[in-house]
Amino acid sequence: ETGVTQTPRHLVMGMTNKKSLKCEQHLGHNAMYWYKQSAKKPLELMFVYSLEERVENNSVPSRFSPECPNSSHLFLHLHTLQPEDSALYLCASSQGRGQDTGELFFGEGSRLTVL
Partner 1 sequence: AQKITQTQPGMFVQEKEAVTLDCTYDTSDPSYGLFWYKQPSSGEMIFLIYQGSYDQQNATEGRYSLNFQKARKSANLVISASQLGDSAMYFCAMREVLWDNDMRFGAGTRLTVKP
Of 107 and 114, which has the nearer Cβ to partner 1?
107
Residues forming the site for partner 1 (CB under 8 A): 2, 33, 41-43, 45, 48, 56, 88, 90, 92, 94, 97-109, 111
CB of 80 to partner 1, least distance (A): 25
**Burial category of 115 from C-beta neighbours within 10 Å (exposed 0-12, middle 13-18, buried 19 and up):** exposed
CB of 57 to partner 1, least distance (A): 12
DSSP characters for 26-83?
Answer: -S--SEEEEEEE-TTS--EEEEEEETTEEEEE-S--TTEEEEEEETTEEEEEEES--G
Bridge partners, 82 (sequence order): none
CB of 27 to partner 1, least distance (A): 13
Of 16 and 103, which has the nearer Cβ to partner 1?
103
Of 4 and 114, which has the nearer Cβ to partner 1?
4
CB of 105 to partner 1, least distance (A): 7
Of 16 and 27, which has the nearer Cβ to partner 1?
27
Cα distance between residue 104 and residue 90, in whole Å: 11
Residue (of 114, 115, 113, 108) closest to 7 by Cα position: 108
